[in-house]
Chain A
């Protein structure tokens, strides 16, 4: 019977530590979802702004939630072709804007103009020669935007704000 209290003490301490870890993970989740998150962007579609092999970026979630994303912003967005993939692109127009874009820059200079429907945005990669964006799949609903990129962490030469 004398072994019971020390055992209970160990159990209580284990529970306290677990609770602390759980609270920390919840705080991490809330920060990641509502304040600021990190994302690794790779691929050729945003050259020369981002590298081919991958840049580690910080994206803030507050602007997107309050509808303050505008043309010229780089956003991370859930791909309309695969909901499990997050891509980084630049917003070229918001709802109501008239966007003029080059349809196939590799073959011709033909331009088309389109009006962005309500609740949607038009996204394009900085490297229009190799970018799968709104020119292929059309304007995307604003609800797919996950955040606005504002800082680059890696590589170290590019550390600093992203415009």
Chain B
């Protein structure tokens, strides 16, 4: 009888902590791993495809989802437009109303209302808006503010606007 009581209390506490942690992770901030090299050198600069344990961990804040107000150069987490179960991390390079020079056809493209243009810092190997076009801002799930792991690269993620056509 005592053990049952103890287990029940334990389960209740576990469940409560779970609910609170889920709420905080959804509404305020969470920590996620970044996989792949599309954002080198900002994240995963020495990443090798064989070693999975070298992923950078970053802090993602959710306060920006209140007003959906972003600035060019923000690094954001968003649901992939080709597969809603995947989340990508890229940098916003253009906001609604901006004109962007389309990379493959040499004419200018206007970003439609409610959309943004995302690009990875590593131009050579990044699947981003240059392949699937501008993405609706409604797909954004958070903004990356800091790198929290590995300890030698802990720091704020700066807003950087890439110069036309030049990689970092």
What is the interface of chain A, defined by CB distance below 8 A to chain B? 22-23, 25-27, 29-30, 33, 67, 78-84, 117-120, 137, 140-145
Contacts and interface: CB of A to CB of B under 8 A. Distances in A.
Interface in B132-159: 135-140
Return the 10 tightest CB-CB contacts between A and B, nearest first: A143-B79, A78-B138, A83-B138, A141-B81, A119-B82, A143-B84, A80-B136, A142-B84, A83-B137, A26-B23
B20 A144 contact: no
A33 B19 CA distance: 12
B113 A82 contact: yes
B7 interface: no
B27 interface: yes
B106 interface: no
A30 B67 CA distance: 21
B113 A143 contact: no
A141 B135 contact: yes
15 contacts: A30-B23, A67-B85, A78-B136, A81-B112, A82-B114, A83-B68, A83-B114, A83-B137, A83-B138, A117-B82, A119-B81, A119-B83, A120-B81, A143-B79, A144-B136
B80 A119 contact: yes
Given A119-B82, A143-B84, A144-B138, A80 B19 contact: no
Given A26-B19, A29-B22, A119-B82, 6 more contacts: A30-B22, A82-B114, A83-B138, A118-B83, A143-B79, A144-B138
Given A118-B82, A141-B81, A143-B84, A83 B23 contact: no
A83 B139 CA distance: 8
B98 interface: no
Given A26-B22, A27-B19, A80 B84 contact: no
Nearest to B116: A83
Contacts of A118: 82-83
Nearest to A121: B84
A135 B44 CA distance: 41
Given A29-B23, A30-B23, A80 B115 contact: yes
A122 to B, nearest CB: 14
B26 A29 contact: yes
Contacts of A26: 16, 19-20, 22-23
Interface string B115-126: 100000000000
